[in-house]
Amino acid sequence: MNTAIEPERYELTAEPIYHFELRRRDFFKALGGGIAVFCLLDRSFAGQESGRARHGFNEPLPQEISAWLHIGENGEVTVYTGKVEVGQNIRSSLTQAVAEELSVEPGFVRMLMGDTDHVPFDMGTFGSRTTPTMNPQLRRAAAAARETLIALAAEAWKTDPAKLTAANGAVTDPDSKRSASFAELAKGRELAKAIPAEDPLTPATQWKIMGKPLGKVTGRDIVTGRHRYPSDIKLPGMLYGKVLRPPAFGATLTSFDAHDAEQFPGVTVVHDGNFAGVVAPNPRIAQSALAALKATWNSPPPKTSSTLLYEYLKKNAGPAEERAGSTTGSIEQGLAQASRRLRQTYTVAYIAHAPLEPRAAVAEWKDGKLSVWTGTQRPFGVRSELAETFRLAEDHVRVVMPDMGSGYGGKHSGEAAVEAARLAQAAHRPVKLVWTREEEFTWAYFRPAGVIEVSAGIASDGAITAWEFHNYNSGAAAIGTPYNIPSQRIQFHPVDSPLRQGSYRSLAATANHFARESFMDELAHLAKMDPLEFRLKNLTDARFRAALEAAAEKFGWGKSQPRPGHGFGIAGGFDKGGYVATCAEVAVEPSARQVRVVRVVTAFDCGAVVNPDGLRNQIEGANNMGLGGALFEAIEFENGRILNPHFAQYRVPRFSDAPAIEVVLIDRKDVPSAGAGETPIVGIAPAVGNAIFAASGQRQRALPMAPKGV
Amino acid sequence: MPKVTELLINGVKYSVDVDAGASLLSVLRDDLDLTGSKYGCGEGQCGACTVLIGGSPRRSCITPVGEAARKPITTIEGLERDGRLHPVQQAFLDEDVMQCGYCTSGMIMTTVGLLTIHPDPSDDVIAHHLEGHICRCGTYPRIIAAVRRAAKSLHEVRS
């Protein structure tokens, strides 16, 4: 992503300053005096990071501002950003960014995240965008704050700012040994500065705080149980809600009788169109009252079931979407040049994110204003949903997002927030709603299922001459091939999905990598070449090659033979600025039809590494999470119902499934940092599938590969 | 239904007025605002709600509060003493285990229980005892490392 602003776009820096000046007094009134630095956005980022709210009126500040940093009169450094902490540990990595450029210990920096009344607009925390966009913006803000503090000291001491240094929360003159703390310098000031997007930054080779491990900054609050997740929020006078769920997707309420439920003490029943729910003094009474509601529903005929799913997806595919630059050369000519041809079909099941904290919200109406504390990756998106649902101006809705119990792309929507708000509106009291595990498995959205058809031809020397790739429904992320193939046709075919579907960690990059890298393995065997050698023969991308070679070397690829019943597999790719290669060793127990992943090596290159231990944690975790979708996880459904909405029926990876994982970090200090929360997950499924083939001769073309053994 | 009127949690007597059949987790979280124990599934399948009852790890979501009455209950809030973390808490910090951290309190409570009966557990024993706990972020290797570290530091405290 290009971060530079072209000269003719300098109006971006001027216009918001004007708007900001109008608001400065309010800003300092809210925060107290001191020094504030506003980050202005390059408009090329604005599409995702700042974007436009659906209701863009009454915004407190111009949307070209992406974040701000405030140094209070007490010297406290506070950063305000709409990005949120969902387990990817950006609270730590963004703290490092500010600490680095401000030359303070990380402990000096406080991050205020995801509170729509106090942070600038942000589209949401997804797409591995925080590290490539918010991190450099905060660094620029911190660098500008440092320069401002130095200038203030230089003015006071009547000296040259160039010789002053800022470190450990103070500006020092090395000649006169004079020193002034940030607090002393900020005292009595109301200084504001807006910075353009291209201020110079400290190069990665000179980092002192970034590039080194920093643990979870809220770790102590978590190990003591003090941290309040969204489902832990409690307000004075708060009641507890439950929502009546239909028996099938799309069902409509045909009759409703609340008489019995209303007999419970303190219960309010809410019925509004197709929505029905109860509010009670505690969750046990709410559950009893919910069970006492009498309702009949009309269910529409189901579109399909999980057993007929893949036929359905093929039959109901819409017109193909050509991906930009995805058709080159001539498939027919490419195939004519091939000495061998192959065609295979791969399938990917619907899976659930199953974040350990289900959707939860606490809603409060006060003086015509709605406030909701909820777990979401898009606080401003949820604010828009609430404003639209309740016909409020956006500035009459506040969404607060306490660091939550994970999301994995599954909490982009505001269902629980809207439901809690409707219940609270009826009860005239704050209401908490926590979805049950069954609700989370049923009424959230799923990672799209898909069918992927691949065909290719190879020449006698192993060069791929033609490549055709069709993805039905699962998605277009990383659908293109990184290999050098002269003739390609790559298409995504959208389908009217039978289940509600949406984002998931890495989106369809997992499905597309599974199909592509499994098929590459099949082609390697067809060419009678080693799978690594075959990939390298068809690959010139230096960073992808380096990742494959680094993983292979650490794994000992080609150096030893697997033990009987064991097999080795390799796979890799790139997406969202990150390059990944994964080698896996599996053990297949033929009589028990069991697969165990013994050992995994993942090499990853996401540019300059910001927090090496945090990155390792993400890569280890991505491999373990990815094992679920690779081996076991699949949503089963029939007649508009989910058949396995419990952890006892929907198997996720547990301790005994976790392999030994070795991580190789390729730290490219010469390349801007990319995000790392997603792409490390894409290598594990094809690497394991290829290893199962090596161990057993059974080719795996369906995810999950071993729901009940191979 | 019989009522429970008193609970002994983290050495403190709490007055309550709840049906004996209510889930202990709900009473802890909703009645007493002890929210360190988490709801993850309500079915005893994920371990996020784990507390110690009489020193043994129990799934509070499927434990009727009547079964826990008159027994000492320890929750995550009761491990820190005078501002000093329990060695298991410290080990989770030192190994930088946490991503979202939602499973952490349950993992820590089971580990505290495990290390009282197995002071020096092998990795297999650790995995076996924690098998009923889910970490969706997949930090399993770090949790095992934290348990090993905690075992070592508890051993040093004893000797």
Gap from B159 CA to chain A (nearest CA, Å): 25
Distance CA A13, CA A3 (A): 14
Distance CA B79, CA B90 (A): 11
Residues in B closer than 8 angstroms to A89, CB to CB, are: 99
Residue A8 is classified by DSSP as G
Look at A290 and A2; give whichever has higher pLDDT.
A290
Asked if the C-beta of A236 comes within 8 angstroms of chain B's C-beta atoms, the answer is no
**Averaged pLDDT, B67-88:** 97
Residues in B closer than 8 angstroms to A357, CB to CB, are: 38, 40, 100, 102
Q: Are residues A594 and A669 in the same domain?
A: yes
CB contact under 8 A, A357 and B134: no
Distance CA A692, CA B13 (A): 56
- For A:427-456, CB contacts with B below 8 A are 434, 436-437
| Residue of A231, A356, A442 for testing the chain B interface, max B β-carbons within 10 Å | A356
Cα(first)–Cα(last) distance of chain B, in Å? 49
Whether residue A67 contacts residue A92, with contact meaning beta carbons closer than 8 Å, is answered with no
Q: What is the pLDDT of residue A196?
A: 67
Distance CA A467, CA A344 (A): 12
CB contact under 8 A, A620 and B141: yes
3-class DSSP string for A142-154: HHHHHHHHHHHHH
Residue A311: CB atoms within 10 A of its CB come to 11
Q: Are residues A240 and A276 in the same domain?
A: yes
Residue of B nearest to A238 (CA): B30
Q: Are residues A162 and A197 in the same domain?
A: yes
Residues in A closer than 8 angstroms to B127, CB to CB, are: 655-656, 658
Distance CA A89, CA A618 (A): 9
- Measured over the CA atoms of residue A605, residue A610, residue A613 and residue A618, the dihedral's sign is negative
pLDDT over 70 (residue A354): yes
Averaged pLDDT score across all residues of chain B = 97
CB contact under 8 A, A621 and B139: yes
Report which of A436, A437, A488 is spatially closest to residue A464, judged by C-alpha positions. A488
A254 within a domain of the structure (yes/no) = yes
Residue of A nearest to B88 (CA): A223
CB contact under 8 A, B48 and A213: no
Distance CA B25, CA A671 (A): 49
Distance CA A84, CA A114 (A): 5
The reply to whether ipTM tops 0.90 is yes
| Residue of B137, B139, B142, B147 for testing the chain A interface, max A β-carbons within 10 Å | B137
Among residues A369, A402, A434, which one ends one of the domains? A434
Tokens coding A53:
């709210």
DSSP β-ladder status, A109-113 and A77-81: parallel
Asked if the C-beta of A676 comes within 8 angstroms of chain B's C-beta atoms, the answer is no
Q: What is the pLDDT of residue A445?
A: 96
Q: Are residues A204 and A143 in the same domain?
A: yes
Q: Are residues A594 and A640 in the same domain?
A: yes
Gap from B156 CA to chain A (nearest CA, Å): 21
Report which of A386, A223, A291 is spatially closest to residue B84, judged by C-alpha positions. A223
Distance CA A486, CA A538 (A): 11
Residues in B closer than 8 angstroms to A219, CB to CB, are: 92-93, 96, 98, 101
A286 within a domain of the structure (yes/no) = yes
Alpha carbons within 13 angstroms on the beta-carbon side of residue A191 total 18
- For B:3-62, CB contacts with A below 8 A are 18-19, 22, 26, 29-31, 33-43, 45-46, 48
pLDDT over 80 (residue B62): yes
Whether residue B11 contacts residue B78, with contact meaning beta carbons closer than 8 Å, is answered with yes
Distance CA A60, CA A63 (A): 9
**Averaged pLDDT, B139-154:** 98
Kindly report whether the peptide bond that precedes residue A686 is cis, defined as omega within 30 degrees of 0. Answer: no
A188 within a domain of the structure (yes/no) = yes
A490 within a domain of the structure (yes/no) = yes
CB contact under 8 A, B98 and A222: yes
Distance CA A126, CA A674 (A): 13
Q: What is the pLDDT of residues B78-128, one digit of tens each?
A: 999 999 999 999 999 999 999 999 999 999 999 999 999 999 999 999 999
**Averaged pLDDT, A15-27:** 44
Distance CA A681, CA A580 (A): 9
Q: What is the pLDDT of residue A593?
A: 72
Tokens coding B144:
């095992």
- For B:55-74, CB contacts with A below 8 A are none
Residue of A nearest to B46 (CA): A647
Q: What is the pLDDT of residue B120?
A: 96
Distance CA A426, CA A413 (A): 22
Residues in B closer than 8 angstroms to A614, CB to CB, are: 96
Q: What is the pLDDT of residue A194?
A: 81
Confidence of residue A591 (pLDDT cuts 50, 70, 90): confident
Residue B81 is classified by DSSP as B
3-class DSSP string for A242-256: EECCCCCCCCEEEEE
pLDDT over 80 (residue A287): yes
Q: Are residues A370 and A422 in the same domain?
A: yes
A224 within a domain of the structure (yes/no) = no
CA dist list (Å): A200 to A41, A109, A175, A203, A545: 15, 21, 26, 9, 31
A439 within a domain of the structure (yes/no) = no
Q: List the single residue in B80, B85, B140 with the smallest CB-CB distance to A658.
A: B140
Packing angle of the helix pair A612-627, B140-158 (nearest 10 deg): 120
CA dist list (Å): A12 to A5, A15, A62, A626: 9, 6, 11, 42
Q: Are residues A536 and A673 in the same domain?
A: yes
Among residues A370, A399, A434, which one ends one of the domains? A434
CB contact under 8 A, B101 and A227: yes
CATH code: domain of residue A531: 3.30.365.10
Q: Which residues contact A32 (CB under 8 A, 6 or more apart)?
A: A72, A73
DSSP-derived secondary structure for A197-255: TT-----GGG-SSTTS----TTHHHHHTT-S--GGG---TT-EEEEEPPPSSTT-EEEE
Report which of A561, A535, A569 is spatially closest to residue A549, judged by C-alpha positions. A535
**Averaged pLDDT, A452-470:** 98
Gap from A366 CA to chain B (nearest CA, Å): 23
Residues in A closer than 8 angstroms to B35, CB to CB, are: 225, 228-229, 231-232, 234
Whether residue A467 contacts residue A363, with contact meaning beta carbons closer than 8 Å, is answered with no
Whether residue A650 contacts residue A666, with contact meaning beta carbons closer than 8 Å, is answered with no
A440 within a domain of the structure (yes/no) = no
CB contact under 8 A, A223 and B85: yes
Asked if the C-beta of B80 comes within 8 angstroms of chain A's C-beta atoms, the answer is yes
pLDDT over 50 (residue A381): yes
CB contact under 8 A, A226 and B92: no
Q: What is the pLDDT of residues A401-420, one digit of tens each?
A: 999 999 999 999 999 999 99
Q: Are residues A211 and A234 in the same domain?
A: no
Residue A563 is classified by DSSP as P
Distance CA A279, CA A285 (A): 9
Distance CA A472, CA A451 (A): 5
**Averaged pLDDT, A296-311:** 97
Residue A374 parent element (H or E): strand A369-374
Gap from B149 CA to chain A (nearest CA, Å): 15
| Residue of B96, B97, B126 for testing the chain A interface, max A β-carbons within 10 Å | B96
Q: What is the pLDDT of residues A130-167, one digit of tens each?
A: 999 999 989 999 999 999 999 999 999 999 999 999 99
A672 within a domain of the structure (yes/no) = yes
Backbone φ, ψ for residue A34 (5° rounding) = 125, -150
Q: Are residues A294 and A312 in the same domain?
A: no
Asked if the C-beta of A222 comes within 8 angstroms of chain B's C-beta atoms, the answer is yes
Packing angle of the helix pair B104-117, B123-130 (nearest 10 deg): 130
Gap from A358 CA to chain B (nearest CA, Å): 7
How many CB pairs lie under 8 A apart between chains A and B? Answer: 178
CB contact under 8 A, A234 and B127: no
Tokens coding A506:
């890495």
Verdict on whether the full-model pTM lies above 0.90: yes
Q: What is the pLDDT of residue A24?
A: 58
Q: List the single residue in A213, A283, A652 with the smallest CB-CB distance to B134.
A: A652
pLDDT over 60 (residue A22): no
Gap from B119 CA to chain A (nearest CA, Å): 20
Q: What is the pLDDT of residue A190?
A: 87
pLDDT over 80 (residue A43): no
Residue of A nearest to B24 (CA): A284
Confidence of residue A61 (pLDDT cuts 50, 70, 90): very low
CB contact under 8 A, B40 and A622: no
Q: Are residues A389 and A495 in the same domain?
A: no
- For B:84-113, CB contacts with A below 8 A are 85, 89-90, 92-93, 96, 98-105, 108
- For A:536-575, CB contacts with B below 8 A are none
Q: What is the pLDDT of residue A331?
A: 95
Gap from B158 CA to chain A (nearest CA, Å): 23
Gap from A283 CA to chain B (nearest CA, Å): 8
Among residues A215, A246, A261, which one ends one of the domains? A215
Q: What is the pLDDT of residues A175-192, one digit of tens each?
A: 999 999 999 999 998 888
pLDDT over 70 (residue A26): no
Gap from B53 CA to chain A (nearest CA, Å): 18
Q: What domain count does chain A have? A: 3
| Residue of A222, A264, A627, A633 for testing the chain B interface, max B β-carbons within 10 Å | A222
Domains of chain B, start order: 3-78 (3.10.20.30), 87-158 (1.10.150.120)
Number of residues that this document lists for chain B: 159
| Residue of A223, A232, A282 for testing the chain B interface, max B β-carbons within 10 Å | A223
Asked if the C-beta of A612 comes within 8 angstroms of chain B's C-beta atoms, the answer is no
Residue range of the domain that includes A596: 307-351+446-703
Q: What is the pLDDT of residue A102?
A: 93
Q: Are residues A537 and A617 in the same domain?
A: yes
What percentage of chain A carries pLDDT values higher than 90?
Answer: 84
pLDDT over 50 (residue A4): no
Provide the 3-class DSSP secondary structure of residue A105.
coil
Q: Are residues A336 and A376 in the same domain?
A: no
Residues in A closer than 8 angstroms to B139, CB to CB, are: 617, 620-621, 624
Gap from A685 CA to chain B (nearest CA, Å): 15
pLDDT over 70 (residue A570): yes
Radius of gyration (Cα) for chain B, nearest Å?
15
